[in-house]
Amino acid sequence: MGEYFTVSYGGTFGFRRQDLMDQLKAEIALVLHVHSLDNFYFSCRTCYKFSVGFVLNREKRYSTKEIKMEISILSTSGGKQLATLTVDPNSTLKELKTQIHRLKSHLYPDRQEFRQEPRGKGLDESKTVAALGLKDKSKLYLKDLGPQIAWKTVFLTEYAGPLFVYAWIYTRPWLFYGEDAASQPMSQVSHIAAICWVFHYSKRILETLFVHRFSHATMPVRNLFRNCAYYWVFAAYVAYHVNHPLYTAPCQIQSYIALGFWTVCELGNFSIHWLLRNLRPPGSKERRIPRPTKDPLTLLFNLVSCPNYTYEVGGWVAFTAMTQCIPAGLFAFAGFYQMVIWAIGKHRSYKKDFKDYPRGRKAIIPFVL
């Protein structure tokens, strides 16, 4: 609520409106002992009997010049005190991170995560000290997330690796199967599989550069090695078998049907990514309930919370059927397992954040999971 003041003006109504407002502002400034009212909002409430009532609307914010408080910053590991910050109630956690960075240069903002309890949930950096209910001498816990790397860099590294590894084995079979491999014929399915693989990861790289809008700027650099190992090793494993001179392809009908299903899944995956991109304004972390658009491939949002994962899994199942290759099936299963975990987490988050979230949706598999 605002603070209300009624100031009676004893003059006539012949004054211009701006003159009247200026004089009223001057009177209120004298009452409040301030030099200027430029930061206040005025609105007329009543106008009768030669008196004019005005409402002085001030946000429920504190004067940074009058209220200061000290916040102790403790480490989540052992409770060691890292710093004592002098802040005001309107300071955001993002501003606190900047202060800590000035004191400890290795703790840049993206490396910090604030918590109210040592093992509690990470706090939104846009929250203010007042919004968190912190008072003078309160404590905040800081978790050092370790060296960070940009998500875009992570994705580009993850996806460029399997693209070049697969293409390397496909175009240079003599390096892996012996000198005679280059002269031996390669099945049509092997050629199709190589095109599909390169297309998929080229699509991912382009989406990373031009489509995706990341809610988090960075991730721990230690995760990069694990993620790259997963993609790169599986790429070599699948490529080695599909391009092997002794590889036996399935019948053409099976391969072509699977190729058609794979194509639909790739288009569907892109459609969902494009919808999610338009759902979040540039540079923001705003979340909205995703809903289908006029694109028929987005109708899957009526059934699941993460149709991009549904299409992704479907695409790798189709690739497995097209090549009839066990390593491809293992890659599809490993990806499915991880995406189920991600989808369930996002599904729960949607239901928690939005009271009107559609009840009929599942996480990743329509009507099942």
Residue recorded with tokens 């990514």: 273
Kindly tell me the sign of the dihedral angle through the C-alpha atoms of 340, 343, 347, 349: positive
Cα of first residue to Cα of last residue in the chain, in angstroms, is 46
Beta partners for residue 42, in sequence order: 56
Residue 60 scores a pLDDT above 50: no
Distance CA 59, CA 185 (A): 76
pLDDT more than 90, % of the chain: 64
Is-contact 327 227, C-beta < 8 A? no
Residues 222 and 146 sit within 8 Å (Cβ to Cβ): yes
SS3 content of the chain, % helix, strand, coil (to 5): 50, 15, 35
Task: Calculate mean pLDDT across residues 249-271.
Answer: 97
pLDDT 10s digits, 193-226: 999 999 999 999 999 999 988 777 788 898 899 9
Q: How do residues 345-357 score in pLDDT, each as one tens digit?
A: 999 999 998 999 9
User: What are 275-295's pLDDT values in tens digits?
Assistant: 999 887 776 677 889 999 999
pLDDT digits (tens, 9 = 90+) for 113-169: 999 999 888 888 889 999 999 988 899 999 999 999 998 999 999 999 999 999 999
pLDDT value of position 253:
96
Mean pLDDT of 73-88: 90
Structure-derived torsion over alpha carbons of residues 289, 290, 291, 297, reported in degrees to the nearest 10: -170
